[in-house]
Structure 1
Amino acid sequence: MLRVENLNVWFGFPPDRVDAVQSVSFQVPQGQSYGLVGESGSGKSTILRAITGLIDTWSGDIRVADQAVAGRKRSRAFHKAVQMVFQDPYASLHPRHSVDRVLSETLHLQGMHDIDRRIAQLLDAVGLGSGFRFRYPHQLSGGQRQRVAIARALAAEPRLLLLDEPTSALDVSVQAEILNLLADLRRERGLTYVMVSHDLSVVAHMCDRLAVMRQGRIVEEMDAASLRAGRAQSEYARELLTASASYDRGWSGA
């Protein structure tokens, strides 16, 4: 579903150019979930933004369903196939647009018909009833706003969802609900995910395979079973797993 080959992403120009992503390659089969993990600034979110066309200073080969994408401009067909869910649901929703307007405008842009029926179906799919349809973002909790953001992404009936830290801005009590919703949607709709997260337990729960990133490069790829078992080949990945395990023990005992 997604193939990334020798991806390089940079910002600025010499001598101040910053190479944010360097020689990154990975592929995600249809229906699988792939994780990108690593410390802040390792290039994880930058990869998603390059895929979606939010960054135009990149080189390499990006293919979605074997269709190559180039430059910054993305076709309408691309945006029907690929959608992104951002980290902060409040920032990604227009504060003066109701849920109805957010979803109806998205459906119109995608050329959909029977808007009322589709809005009701989308709200039902993400666990929100019709009572939320005419609310505004400030009238919703963080988890409810993220459900609206997911519904907006689903409006295009995509095949690939790019998830940029989709639960990190939410209360711990709500994170599991959103992750379970995403897992259910993937199974029911046959979706493919690429998920960026700093939380290894989230990736172990949600993803089939993952890449560990450091300073813009992939240092190791592994499957989720290896992650859960703490089996890593590279020194950096082992350190990351050890640090994450120590943090989880300290947090759970607090």
Structure 2
Amino acid sequence: MSAPILSVADLRVWFGHPPDRVDAVRGVDLGVQRGESFGLVGESGSGKSTVLRAIAGLAPDWSGRVAVAGETLSGARRSPAFHRRVQMVFQDPYASLHPRHTVDRVLAETLTLQGMDDIDRRIVRLLDDVGLGRGFRFRYPHQLSGGQRQRVAIARALAGEPELLLLDEPTSALDVSVQAEILNLLTDLRADRGLTYLMVSHDLAVIGHLCQRLAVMQAGEIVDRLEVADLRAGRAQNAYTRHLIAASQYQRA
């Protein structure tokens, strides 16, 4: 097996200082192979989103080893090369878009920051790729539905032609019918662009739809690892994982 595009070893993330320090992630190890979609699942407060934030450079206090495409990361600063390779899609598509910037400006600024040329053509292509089209180019976020805003957020993440997307609950703020549309879009984009995903969700059905492998987090630690085929067959050995399956709509689907 080739070296993973993302390698995480003994990741620890904390907030605050003793005696009030909170250890949010405790010794997480994972590897994501190039081209795969890997899921992190767990209940609220399990530390799964904090793992993504540490990788992205949004968690100032962490230790361990994180490497992306051979680049070992340190501290909370990320190199321009990292931001070309890795982008993040957040849970709330409205909060992640500037309310007074048109879709055109959002994408143009991102393309410019990534050093891209032929901005006009690239904007049109990005909108087409996420299923919006040029008619949405000069709209503001408040003129878009939740699903349309998330499509813009995905287009922005794709602007620099990254290799790895960090997906933090990208469908949880959307209606169920729209969730399926966004998951299908992400599936198609991964196939078309050869993308790699690390996706966080509390919803096993979402992980089962998009991912091949997953890790289950509880209280800041990984407590189980599964192939999605095992998840579908209910072959989980860990008691907490069995609890998640029993409590989810995934089992009843």
Q: Common fold, TM-score beyond 0.5? A: yes
Among residues 194, 199, 202, which one is paired with 1:195 in the alignment?
199
Which stretches of structure 1, 4 residues or more, deviate above 2 A after TM superposition?
none
Q: Shift of the alpha carbon at 1:38?
A: 0.5
Match of residue 36 from structure 2: 32
SS at match of 2:77: coil
SS at match of 2:76: coil
Aligned residue pairs, count:
249
Aligned equivalents of 2:216 and 2:172: distance in 1? 18
CA distance in 2: counterparts of 1:178 and 1:70, whole angstroms = 33
- For 2:19 and 2:233, locate their aligned partners in 1 and report how far apart those are by CA, in whole Å: 43
1:156 aligns with 2:160: yes
The equivalent of 1:228 in structure 2 is 232
SS state of the match for residue 127, structure 1? coil
% identical aligned pairs: 72
Map 1:1-254 onto structure 2 (within 5 A): 1-245=5-249, 249=252
What amino acid sits opposite 2:185 in the alignment?
L
Checking the alignment, whether the CA contact within 8 Å between 2:168 and 2:201 is kept in structure 1 is yes
TM-aligned CA deviation for residue 248 of structure 1: 6.2
SS at match of 2:248: helix
Residues in 2 aligned to 1:76 and 1:99: alpha-carbon distance in whole angstroms:
23
One-letter amino acid of the structure 2 residue matched with residue 91 of structure 1: A
Q: Which amino acid aligns with 1:199?
A: D
Amino acid at match of 1:242: A
Q: In 2, distance between residues paired with 1:25 and 1:66?
A: 16
Equivalent position SS for 2:29: strand
* 1-structure distance, mates of 2:124, 2:149: 16
Give, in whole Å, the separation in 2 of the partners of 1:205 and 1:153: 21
Structure-2-length-normalised TM-score? 0.97
CA RMSD of aligned residues (A): 1.0
Question: Contact 2:25/2:220 (CA < 8 Å) preserved in 1?
Answer: yes
Distance of 1:49 and 1:60 partners within structure 2: 14
- Superposed CA deviations along residues 193-250 of structure 1, whole A, max 9, x for unmatched, are 00001110110111010000000000011100001111111111111111114x864x
* DSSP 3-state at the match of 1:149: helix
Partner letter of residue 19 of structure 1? D
Secondary structure at the residue paired with 1:121? helix
Distance 1:24 1:17 in 2: 18
1:25 shift after superposition: 0.2
2:245·2:251 contact (CA, 8 Å) conserved in 1?
Answer: no
CA distance in 2, matches of 1:12, 1:170: 32
CA displacement at 1:9 relative to structure 2: 0.2
Q: Which stretches in structure 1 are left out of the alignment for 5+ residues?
A: none
Query: Any unmatched runs of 5+ in structure 2?
Result: none
Q: Deviations over 1:174-193 (max 9, x none)?
A: 11000000000000100000
